[in-house]
Structure 1
Amino acid sequence: MQAVVLEEFKEPLEVQEVERPEPEPDGAVARVDGCGVCRSDWHCWQGEWDWFNYRPDPPHVLGHEPTGTIVEVGENVTSVQEGDTVAIPFNFACGECSLCRNGRENICENHIGLGFMNEAPGAFAEEVHIPAADVNAVPLPDEIESDTAAGIGCRFMTSYHAMAHQGDVGNGEDVVVHGLGGIGLAAVHIANALGANVIGVDLMDEKLEKAEELGAVDTVNARDVDDPAKEVRDMTDGGAAVSVDALGITATCQNAVRSLGKGGRHVQIGLTTAAEEGMIPLPTDEFVAKEIEFIGSLGLQPSRYPEMLDMIRTGKLDPTALVSETIDIHQVPDRLAAMTDFDTMGIPVCNEFSG
Structure 2
Amino acid sequence: MRAAVLREHGEPLDVTDVPAPTLDSEGVVVDVEACGICRSDWHAWMGHGEWADDNVEPGQILGHEPAGRVVEVGDRVETIREGDRVALPFNLACGSCGYCRTGHGNVCTGAHPHALGFEQTAQGAFAEQVHLPSADYNAIRLPAGVTSRDVAALGCRFMTAYNALEARAGLRAGEWVAIHGCGGVGLSAIQVANALGARVVAVDVRESALDVADELGADVLVDAADADVVESVRDATDGGAHVSVDALGVAETCRNSVRCVRPRGTHVQVGLTTAAERGEVSLPTDWMTRHEVSFVGARGMPPTSAPDLLSLLASDTVDPGSLVTKEVSLDEVPERLAAMTDYDTVGVEVMTM
Work out whether 1:335 is the aligned partner of 2:336.
yes
| Matched letter for residue 236 of structure 2 | M
Query: How many angstroms apart in 1 are the aligned matches of 2:341 and 2:326?
Result: 18
Alignment map for 1:59-138 (pairs within 5 Å): 59-110=59-110, 111-138=113-140
Query: How many angstroms apart in 2 are the aligned matches of 1:145 and 1:179?
Result: 27
SS of structure 1 residue aligned to 2:211 = helix
Contact 1:53 1:117 in 2 (8 A): no
Contact 2:149 2:350 in 1 (8 A): no
Query: How many angstroms apart in 2 are the aligned matches of 1:51 and 1:120?
Result: 21
Q: Which residue of 1 aligns with 2:211?
A: 209
Which ranges in structure 1 are unaligned for 5 or more consecutive residues? Answer: none
Query: How many angstroms apart in 2 are the aligned matches of 1:84 and 1:161?
Result: 25
Select which of 167, 175, 178 maps to 1:176: 178
Select which of 172, 181, 195 maps to 2:197: 195
Q: Deviations over 1:134-181 (max 9, x none)?
A: 111111111323332232111111111111111221221010000111
Query: How many angstroms apart in 1 are the aligned matches of 2:3 and 2:128?
Result: 7
Q: RMSD over aligned Cα, in angstroms? A: 1.0
Contact 1:66 1:87 in 2 (8 A): yes
SS of structure 2 residue aligned to 1:312 = helix
Worse overlay, 48-57 or 15-24? 48-57
Q: In the TM superposition, what is the alpha-carbon distance from 1:55 to its structure 2 partner?
A: 2.0
Contact 2:266 2:293 in 1 (8 A): yes
Q: Which residue of 1 aligns with 2:260?
A: 259
Q: Deviations over 1:182-239 (max 9, x none)?
A: 00010011101110100000000110010111110011000012x2111111111111
Query: How many angstroms apart in 1 are the aligned matches of 2:180 and 2:289?
Result: 22
SS of structure 2 residue aligned to 1:142 = coil
Q: CA separation of 1:117/1:141 partners in 2, compared to 1, >3 Å: closer, same or farther? A: same
| Matched letter for residue 187 of structure 1 | A
Query: How many angstroms apart in 1 are the aligned matches of 2:68 and 2:9?
Result: 28
Q: Which residue of 2 aligns with 1:42?
A: 42
Query: How many angstroms apart in 1 are the aligned matches of 2:104 and 2:279?
Result: 23
Q: Which residue of 2 aligns with 1:141?
A: 143
Q: Which residue of 2 aligns with 1:157?
A: 159
| Matched letter for residue 247 of structure 2 | A
Q: Which residue of 2 aligns with 1:29?
A: 29
Q: In the TM superposition, what is the alpha-carbon distance from 1:248 to its structure 2 partner?
A: 0.6
SS of structure 2 residue aligned to 1:177 = strand
| Matched letter for residue 228 of structure 1 | V
| Matched letter for residue 257 of structure 1 | V
Q: Deviations over 1:33-89 (max 9, x none)?
A: 110001111110111112333323211111111111100011111111110000100
Q: CA separation of 1:286/1:218 partners in 2, compared to 1, >3 Å: closer, same or farther? A: same
Query: How many angstroms apart in 2 are the aligned matches of 1:21 and 1:266?
Result: 40
Query: How many angstroms apart in 2 are the aligned matches of 1:127 and 1:347?
Result: 22
| Matched letter for residue 323 of structure 1 | V
Q: Which residue of 2 aligns with 1:12?
A: 12
Which ranges in structure 2 are unaligned for 5 or more consecutive residues? Answer: none
Alignment map for 1:177-326 (pairs within 5 Å): 177-225=179-227, 227-326=228-327
Q: In the TM superposition, what is the alpha-carbon distance from 1:275 to its structure 2 partner?
A: 1.1
Contact 2:35 2:149 in 1 (8 A): no
| Matched letter for residue 300 of structure 1 | M
Worse overlay, 42-51 or 87-96? 42-51
Q: In the TM superposition, what is the alpha-carbon distance from 1:92 to its structure 2 partner?
A: 0.2
Query: How many angstroms apart in 2 are the aligned matches of 1:244 and 1:278?
Result: 17
SS of structure 2 residue aligned to 1:152 = helix
Structure 1 runs of 4+ aligned residues shifted over 3 Å read none
TM-score by length of 2: 0.97
TM-score by length of 1: 0.97
